[in-house]
Amino acid sequence: MNVTEVMNLPEAQEDAETLVLLREMNRKLEHIEGAVDALERRVEGVAELREDLWPMVRGASHALSRKLDELDQRGALAFAREGLAVIERVATSFDEDDVRLLGDNVVSILQTVRNLTQPEVMAVADRAALALKETGDPPDRKLGLLRAMRDPEVRRGMALLLTVLRELGAQRGNGSGAAEAVAAAV
């Protein structure tokens, strides 16, 4: 029944119908009021939670900002950015087979790197690099080479070079594929 129908009812019937309508409206209003109260409590809870969490969020944000600024000042962020660029270049330069071969040989590669980075090897490499930078004109004739052979340091260097050459030759005789590839390239 709608409002127009209630208005057109006889007075006795109008009172009874109005009472039913008012009771129904009151019941629905109470339901709405309860829902609004529950909603207000939830909003208040969220507001309290925001008030409690906001100082922590702000503090964490400031701490993160300070740490990022510190990393940026030390160059760590630029280093990380360039490191990612290196990884990207490596990823685009090698295919799956290359990565699989790397994985198969990573232990021997790391052992070689460990051997190469020993202090005495690094010192020899450093001296060799300096010598390459400072190399003067080579001796013109065989006599100049013979004179250079009188120098004890030259003799020690030649002995070292001959030892390295002996090891390379021995590897080729053992059928090592890598040594054969190096020898074939030379």
Task: Tell me the C-alpha to C-alpha distance, in Å, between residue 180 and each of 87, 154, 165, 174, 175.
Answer: 31, 29, 13, 9, 7
Residue whose tokens read 């270049």: 89
- What's the pLDDT band for 3 if we cut at 50, 70, 90? low
Q: How far is Cα 79 from Cα 81, in angstroms, rounded to an integer?
A: 5
Q: What's the whole-number mean pLDDT along residues 78-91? A: 92
Q: How far is Cα 172 from Cα 182, in angstroms, rounded to an integer?
A: 9
pLDDT digits (tens, 9 = 90+) for 141-162: 788 888 888 889 889 888 988 9
Q: How far is Cα 146 from Cα 139, in angstroms, rounded to an integer?
A: 9
Kind and range of the H or E run holding 15: helix 11-74
For the chain, list the strands marked E by DSSP: none
Amino acid letter, 49? L
Query: Higher confidence at residue 111 or residue 19?
Result: 111
pLDDT digits (tens, 9 = 90+) for 90-104: 889 988 898 889 889
Res 63: pLDDT: 95
Query: Higher confidence at residue 181 or residue 80?
Result: 80
Residue whose tokens read 């503090």: 59
Q: Which residues, other chains included, contact 35 with Cβ-Cβ below 8 Å and sequence gap of 6+?
A: none
Contact 14, 6 (CB under 8 A): yes
